[in-house]
């Protein structure tokens, strides 16, 4: 599985990345802000939402500290998805935030 640093992802977001960012945190966690352009799919809902996610896209998975997103990335990778885990999670994110 590939990893990306928060700073690298922030640069890509600013430039208009083609990566699809999935925030797997819980509802109360995303209330504190999300990465611009990210979609919110709580970790437990990812298996049932896979059919809605095209396999030809590349996904960057994000959580609070990087562990849930890593587990979700491994799951998605085993299902044939191209995934990248953001190291350190939102605890390390220094970029812009958007609020739901």
Q: Would you please indicate which residues are annotated as catalytic (active-site) residues?
A: 63
33 vs 17: CA distance, rounded Å: 19
Give the DSSP H/E element, type plus range, for residue 84: strand 82-86
16 vs 76: CA distance, rounded Å: 23
Note whether 75 and 1 are within 8 A (CB).
no
47 vs 19: CA distance, rounded Å: 20
């Amino acid at each position: 599985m590939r990893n990306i640093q928060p700073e690298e992802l922030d640069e890509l977001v600013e430039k208009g990345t083609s990566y699809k960012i999935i925030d797997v945190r819980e509802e109360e966690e995303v209330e504190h802000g999300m990465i611009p352009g990210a979609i919110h799919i709580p970790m437990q809902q990812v298996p049932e939402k896979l059919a809605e996610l095209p396999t030809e896209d590349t996904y960057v998975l994000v959580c609070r500290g990087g562990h849930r997103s890593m587990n979700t990335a491994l799951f998605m990778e085993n299902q044939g998805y191209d995934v990248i885990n953001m190291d350190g999670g939102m605890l390390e994110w220094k970029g812009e935030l958007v609020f739901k």
